[in-house]
């Protein structure tokens, strides 16, 4: 029987590329995101390959998270793989100039949203005594950088939750692991810079950054290992990136 993967933040970037790759590899897909129009379009595309269902909700709204996940039809109720991918950066300001709304959005989406979705799905995995949770962190989960303050804090928290979740779910045979990407060219920087496309494009200028498909490939590799293999913590950077702050540009 085909496995089912639920992917948060699947209307763009790493989440979308992962949904496309897993659909082509016979996973049933549950797409989750805020933008219904994008989800509907992607659902149509993926339905050529596999069974696809989309859930449109705001991950920072806990009632919406639980209601959406509990509304899944019977054929999608057994979730084998949860990919906690949804996450954003809002702003890149020194702490003294930080915007409190930006801080709250990052804490609500990157941290609380990940917890809500996990809390809604973990009981199902415990009951089935199997499952695989992939937490998408960031190099910002491992290193901080100037002006990264709250974004780095939320991603460090994802790193901590990943490690602790792995211990808590160990008795139930559930695999838990994190993938921490460095610079990936997606809408990430456009969101961080609030639609300033020039500023966003500059982030990826003069070197070859990772693509969303590179991370999708790695997610597919991680989840397709034999069940006794749990890749628990993986940092991935493009070759030109030496650290959060060191990048070789032309
Ligand atoms: C994305 C990578 O370097 O912008 O999480 O924090 S970085």
- Full DSSP string of 91-105: ----GGG--HHHHHH
Model-level pTM?
Answer: 0.97
Token look-up 């801080």 returns 103
Q: List residues with catalytic annotation.
A: 151
In the chain, the domains with their CATH numbers are 4-236 (3.40.50.720)
Q: For the segment 57-111, what is each residue's pLDDT rounded down to a tens digit?
A: 999 999 999 999 999 999 999 999 999 999 999 999 999 999 999 999 999 999 9
Mean pLDDT of 215-225: 98
Ligand 1 atom closest to 189 (CA): 4
Q: Residue 227 to residues 1, 101, 111, 176, 203: CA-CA distances in angstroms? A: 16, 42, 27, 12, 38
At 145 the pLDDT is 98
At 1 the pLDDT is 83
At 223 the pLDDT is 98
Residue to mutate (ligand 1; options 91, 142, 188, 212; most atoms within 8 A of CB): 188
């Amino acid at each position: 029987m085909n496995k089912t993967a639920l992917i948060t933040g699947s209307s763009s970037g790493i989440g979308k590329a992962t949904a496309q790759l897993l659909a082509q590899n016979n996973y049933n897909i549950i797409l989750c995101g805020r933008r219904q129009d994008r989800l509907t379009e992607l659902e149509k595309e993926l339905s050529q390959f596999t069974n696809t269902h989309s859930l449109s909700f705001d991950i920072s709204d806990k009632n919406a998270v639980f209601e959406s996940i509990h509304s899944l039809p019977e054929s999608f109720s057994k979730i084998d793989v949860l990919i906690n991918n949804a996450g954003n950066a809002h702003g890149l300001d020194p702490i003294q100039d930080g915007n409190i709304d930006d801080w709250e959005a990052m804490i609500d989406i990157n941290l609380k949203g990940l917890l809500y979705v996990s809390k809604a799905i973990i009981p199902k995995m415990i009951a089935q005594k199997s499952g695989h949770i992939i937490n998408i962190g960031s190099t910002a989960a491992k290193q901080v950088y100037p002006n990264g303050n709250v974004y780095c804090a939320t991603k460090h928290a994802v790193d901590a939750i990943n490690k602790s979740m792995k211990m808590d779910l160990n008795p139930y045979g559930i695999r838990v692991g994190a993938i921490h990407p460095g610079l990936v060219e997606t809408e990430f920087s456009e969101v961080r810079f609030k639609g300033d496309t020039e500023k966003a494009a500059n982030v990826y200028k003069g070197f070859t950054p990772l693509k969303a498909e590179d991370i999708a490939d790695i997610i597919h590799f991680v989840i397709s290992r034999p069940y006794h293999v749990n890749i628990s913590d993986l940092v991935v950077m493009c070759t030109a990136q030496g650290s959060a702050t060191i990048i070789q540009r032309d």
